[in-house]
Structure 1
Amino acid sequence: WQKMLLLLLISSAFVLPWAGAGEIIGGKEVKPHSRPYMAYLKIQVTNKTATDRYSCGGFLIRPDAVLSAAHCVTVILGAHNIHDEEQSQQRIRAKKWVIHPNFHREGHVNDIVLLKLETNATINAYVRTISLPRHNEGVRVGTECEVAGWGLTSLERRKTDVMMKVVLEVQNDTLCKPRFRKYQRQSMMCVGDESRRKSTYKGDSGGPLVCNKKAHGIVSRARKRHIFPEVFTRVSYFEPWIHDQLRRFALQELPASPSSQ
């Protein structure tokens, strides 16, 4: 069986047990540390013959919690150049993580995971949280949203060490439904650039789709060799599940009563 190494780093890097896809194509470098909610997830999977390494994105929603895609888990916060040991970076181990109980790899259905950090991140100019939408809060078709990440920057697999960003438009669900098996309108978002010049790509999975200053989507899946359209996990649909898990985390941290010992 495969052994998985988990390490969490805020606005820097974080690793989960399943590899993802997603890189920024047609985007541009962000102003350093202008997206302080971003997390870089490094994933290391070791089997009998080799060790494979992957990367994903994620985002800080509370000083002790990160959201990402379930198919992606070390976490680094406060990073701009992921190959530099920047003083702004915070590396925090993930104490536990909860994958949505109905996650299915086929079709990336319910593609969401919540990570509980071993210690709280220090909130400062380089590391901050991002707000989530209310339950079933929608985003209109045509809304321009931003995605940032450290994924590949071309189909030719060009790499980047610095965080990149791209602006993508929310599309009608009817565009994605015939192109993606198991596409679910309530829990997924159809997004992309109709000119086919901009996209996320391998390595961007788990990163946030930021619309109106809220994390409305999570980079989830695309078709092979096709960069338009793309499917994002719809965060507002999972808001009750997220808050239920955060409450469970809090209860688990409470000291046991004398009668229960």
Structure 2
Amino acid sequence: MTGPTKLLLLVLMSLCQNGLGSDIVNGKKVPKNLMLYMALVQNSQGQRCGGFLISQDFVLTAAHCNDIKPSTVVLGTHNLKNVTKDMRYGIAKKCIPPHFTKAANGGDIMLLKLSRKPPLNNRVQPVQLPKAANKIKDNAKCRVAGWGLTKTEGPNVDVLQFTEVPIVNLEVCKKQWKIINFDLPKNVICAGGYKVKKGFCQGDSGGPLVCGGTAVGVVSFNMRKDCDYPNVPNVYTDISKYLQWIKDVLKKKSC
């Protein structure tokens, strides 16, 4: 093997090992038969958030995603280039906890009632929610997915990406955020972004943190939109703290 050829091979191997071009942030494509609950929440200008189906007519997302004035939800595909008219659903109602003001203050969770029920099949299935208070162990490996940026100020992606992120102890998380003079709100979970190069980025907001097949968190915020990890832990809304509110909305089919 000649010197230039060997050098080129080493460069290509390095690029593959670093996962360039296949990120959520350092992630990979979601297989077609997995995460069938994933939803794209979008406005008329194409701005996007993530979301996830929790019943046949409700999608869960982040309350701060209401800032983009979402008008439709896409279900049934991981590739946004393949979206057809029947995959797009109108939003009949938006339900947000009354105490919500902004993501940094907590309560960053929103329910979207779909204008029609999607058929449940091999492309669309709801995800399971916790049945009780969150008891996830520190360092447990969970998954986050989305169509957001692949790096700070980078491009969005058309094909759904996911990455595994470790749960960060809440007290450790609070201390790390305190170092940058920020007090974490109540009812959050921390995972990824800290001591690892993996996490979520802008455009992934509203997507699920999934542990053992159960959606336990909603993507809320990171540090000043900085996705060049590691820095401080990523922050998710703890779904288990809002189970009664979710049950009440689903039962009433309204806010």
Tell me if TM exceeds 0.5. Answer: yes
RMSD of the TM alignment (CA)?
2.1
Q: Say which one has the larger Rg.
A: 2
The answer on 1:36 being equivalent to 2:36 is yes
Pairwise CA distance, 1:172: 0.8
Equivalent residues in 2 for 1:159-238, closer than 5 Å: 159-178=156-175, 179=177, 181-185=182-186, 187-224=187-224, 225=226, 227=229, 228-238=232-242
Percent identical among aligned pairs is 36
Q: Equivalents in 1 of 2:103, 2:151: separation in Å? A: 25
Q: Equivalents in 2 of 1:166, 1:249: separation in Å? A: 33
Do the aligned residues in 2 keep the contact of 1:71 with 1:108 (CA within 8 Å)? no
Which has the larger helix fraction?
Answer: 2
TM-score, reference length from structure 2: 0.80
Q: Equivalents in 1 of 2:121, 2:35: separation in Å? A: 12
Q: Secondary structure at the match of 1:93?
A: strand
Equivalent residues in 2 for 1:1-261, closer than 5 Å: 24-44=24-44, 53-72=46-65, 73=70, 74-85=72-83, 90-105=87-102, 107-178=104-175, 179=177, 181-185=182-186, 187-224=187-224, 225=226, 227=229, 228-249=232-253
Q: Secondary structure at the match of 1:210?
A: strand
Q: Secondary structure at the match of 1:140?
A: coil
Q: Equivalents in 2 of 1:84, 1:120: separation in Å? A: 20
Pairwise CA distance, 1:82: 0.9
Which has the larger strand fraction?
Answer: 1
- Count residues with an aligned counterpart: 220
Q: Equivalents in 1 of 2:150, 2:190: separation in Å? A: 21
Q: Secondary structure at the match of 1:71?
A: helix
Task: Identify unmatched segments of 5+ residues in structure 1.
Answer: 1-22, 45-51, 253-261
Pairwise CA distance, 1:175: 2.5
Do the aligned residues in 2 keep the contact of 1:189 with 1:231 (CA within 8 Å)? yes
Q: Secondary structure at the match of 2:138?
A: coil
